[in-house]
Every structure is written in C-alpha cells, then in structure tokens.
Amino acid sequence: MLKVGVNGYGTIGRRVAHAISIQDDMKVVGIVKTRPDYISKIASREFSLYVPDESALKNFTDSGIRVAGTLANLMDETEAIVDCTPEGQGEENLPLYRKHGKRAIFQGGEEAAIAEASFNAYANYDESSGKNFVRVVSCNTTGLARTLAPVKDKFGIRRVNATLIRRATDQNDSSKGPINAIEPSLGFPSHHAPDLKTVLGNIDVDSVAIKVPTTLMHVHSVEVTTKNEASASGVLDLWKNYSRIIAVSGKDGRKSTAQIMDMARELGRNRSDLYEIAVWKESVYAAGNTLRYIQAIHQESDVVPENVDALRSMFEIADREKSISATDTKLGIGKELI
Ligand code: NAD
C-alpha cells in the first residue's frame, strides 16, 4: 500500500486525494491545507489535516479544526507527495521534497523542467517509470494528448494545429475573469504546443488559446495532418478502444458544454466530474491526410486519473494497461456512457 500525502487541497488536490483514497494499492496519509475554511472543515471528516509550517497552526486550532502536524511531519509518514499547490508554488516546494528524500508529482502549472518526466497515461506511461519527480501535464495538454496519442500510434502525425477555447476560471472562483470579454493568447504558439511535445514527442504542432467567460469546460478544435490516410469512422472506432475518450452527439441533446456537464451530473460521479474527453461525433471529419475534430474537456477532473497512474508508473507498481484499468474501475470510467 503506497503511502501518499497531498499537498494543496483546491480544485485538483481534493479530487486527486479522493481518487487515491479509493484505490486498492495506495492510500492518503494526509492532506495539506493553508486556511481553516469550509473546505478544511469538510475535508477533516475524511482526511488527516496538515499545515505547510507551524505558522499556520494557530489559525486552525482557533477554529477548532484538528491538525495532525506540518508538511514536514507528513513527509515523515509518506513515500510520495502529490503537489497540488497553485502554479509556481511547486517549484518552491521541490527543495523541501528533496531535503526529505521524498518523491513527488507536480501539476501542469509548473514548468516542465521541474520534473524528470512529464506524464500522460496514453502517450508516455513508461517514461515516468522509476522517476523521483514527475509532472502531470495541464488539463488542456492532457485533453490533446489523450485523443492524439492513439491517432499518432495508428496513423502517424505530420502536424497538429489546435485552437483552444478556454474556460475563464473554475466554478468556486469568483475573483477572476474575464466576465464580459474574450481574451486571446497573444503570439503563436500558445504554451500548449510546446507542452504537448513533452508527452507526445517532437511533433510539429501549433496552438492558440482564447479565454471565454465560462467556468464549465474547455473546447478544442483540432486539425491534424496524418502520415497515413484516416477515415472519420476509422478514427471514431479507434477511440472506442480508449476508455478515457467518449463520443457525444448533438442529436441526443449533448450539443454544448452545459449539456455535457449536465450528463456528468446525471451520472452521479464524485463531484459530478467527467474524467473522459468528450469528442463530438458530428465534428469528426477526415479527408485524405486531414483529420478534424472538436472536443470538450472538464478541466477540473481530466488530470485526476493521470495522477493515480503517474504514481503507479513512478513506483513501478503496475504496467500501463493494469494501472489504467485499476484507476478506471475505481473511478467508474469506461462504463457505457449511453
Ligand atoms: P487551487 O487554487 O484551486 O488550489 C490550490 C490549493 O493550494 C488552494 O487550496 C490553496 O489554498 C493551497 N495552497 C496555496 N499555497 C499553498 C502552500 N504553500 N502549501 C499548501 N497548499 C497551498 O489550484 P488548482 O486549480 O487546484 O491548481 C493546482 C495545480 O494544478 C496548478 O499547477 C494548476 O495549474 C494545475 N491544474 C489546474 C487545473 C484547473 O483547471 N484548475 C487543471 C489541471 C491542472
């Protein structure tokens, strides 16, 4: 049973902690919270709470929330830390993990150089095998890598051109915008193209990202020049073999991100999450060496199964197929989604 600590319990941390806690071969020893807010109160019912350092202890005791210790104490009891702190904080935490001899996973907000390998289960599971520091790529890069890795393996990829329509912020965040504006990434490519190469290898890729006022999902319009000719039905059939990709259709009511997330709520999963990448069937177009499709990404949860798999790869607990299957079974991924 791999003993794991989760440092940072926000959008990603709380989901990763839940996913680890329901696996058979790993467990959460504790989570690190900075403030005694409502999330800490609810989390303390399920997990032991730790604080980054002693300066945060008083706030918690004043609020009546029991704290088990500091991050240093948590590290003494764990074999791995999954760092889910805000962008940039992971880099500050790295020396601490090194000092305590702990292996760690970082998230996509950190630079690729923070880790020995960047991770996506479909694209490069084995590259993290035995590594001490691994970075799970961002929600957008995970979405692109998920659908492109099978295409690369089957048809080969000459070039990718991706337009990313990005959600402005997450559901629980009322401090960020835009509220009434559309904000493009200025300059080509956006950071997503180089990030994709960290898991898919040195493919020719360009990307642009456009932020819009929604909190629900990202949408990607992807154009691929394949090495070998592909048909739309051939690509849809190929994706059927990959549980973390689902095909949705406007014909049965799923024509927008709102309806896809409504489907996720109906499925009744933890936090109403949709771990899979949803590709609109009608959007898949192939002619000669050109393939186009449009996909939606639940930014809060698509990286969650990847974090679990990254732990198994790092600690050489299971090979790719076994890990994906174990993670999917526990999270309910791959059940027939209508
Ligand atoms: P978040 O702000 O929702 O959560 C971060 C949590 O860490 C907060 O609870 C914050 O209070 C806490 N924190 C702050 N400083 C800390 C410290 N020093 N020690 C411990 N905890 C601390 O952020 P998030 O959206 O969960 O993002 C975490 C990482 O995951 C980032 O690298 C981000 O880029 C990446 N990511 C985010 C998303 C997304 O859509 N939200 C998707 C994929 C990857």
Cα of 235 vs centre of ligand 1, distance in Å, is 35
Angle (CA) 199 205 210, round 5°: 100
Q: Where are the domains of the chain?
A: 2-137+303-331, 139-297
Beta bridge partners of 118: 135
**Taking a C-beta distance cutoff of 8 angstroms, is the pair 149, 120 a contact?**
yes
**What are the pLDDT tens digits along the chain (338 aa)?**
999 999 999 999 999 999 999 999 999 999 999 999 999 999 999 999 999 999 999 999 999 999 999 999 999 999 999 999 999 999 999 999 999 999 999 999 999 999 999 999 999 999 999 999 999 999 999 999 999 999 999 999 999 999 999 999 999 999 999 999 999 999 999 999 999 999 999 999 999 999 999 999 999 999 999 999 999 999 999 999 999 999 999 999 999 999 999 999 999 999 999 999 999 999 999 999 999 999 999 999 999 999 999 999 999 999 999 999 999 999 999 876 65
Distance of alpha carbon 79 from alpha carbon 98, whole angstroms: 12
- Ligand 1 — pocket residues by CB below 6 A? 7-13, 32, 34, 52, 84-87, 89, 107-110, 138-139, 170, 299-300, 303
Q: What is the pLDDT of residue 245?
A: 97
User: Minimal CA–CA distance to 167: which of 213, 209, 108?
Assistant: 213
Known catalytic residues are 139
Please check whether residue 194 is in contact with residue 207, taking contact to mean a CB–CB distance below 8 angstroms.
no
| Bond before 178 cis per omega within 30 degrees | yes
Q: Residue 69's beta-bridge partner residues?
A: 50
Query: Which pLDDT score is estimated for 240?
Result: 95
CA of 239 to the centre of ligand 1 (A): 31
Q: Would you tell me which CATH number, out of the four given (3.30.10.20, 3.30.360.10, 3.40.50.1370, 1.20.140.90), belongs to the domain 139-297?
A: 3.30.360.10
User: Which top CATH class is 2-137+303-331?
Assistant: alpha beta
Neighbours of 172 (CB within 10 A): 10
**pLDDT of amino acid 334:** 86
**What was the pLDDT predicted at 338?**
57
The best mutation among 84, 114, 135, 301 to test binding of ligand 1, ranked by most ligand atoms within 8 Å of the C-beta, falls on: 84
Helix (H, G, I), strand (E, B) or coil at 221: strand
What span, in angstroms and rounded, lies between the C-alpha atoms of 70 and 49?
Answer: 9
pTM: 0.98
Ligand 1 centre distance from Cα of residue 71 (Å)? 16
Calpha distance 285→106 (Å, rounded): 36
pLDDT score of 337: 66
For residue 183, give the amino acid letter.
E
Contacts of 40 (CB under 8 A, 6+ apart): 9, 33, 49, 60, 63, 65
DSSP string across 14-30: HHHHHHHHT-SSEEEEE
The end-to-end CA distance of the chain, in Å, is: 35
35 CA closest ligand 1 atom index: 11
What's the CA gap between 332 and 10, in Å, rounded?
22
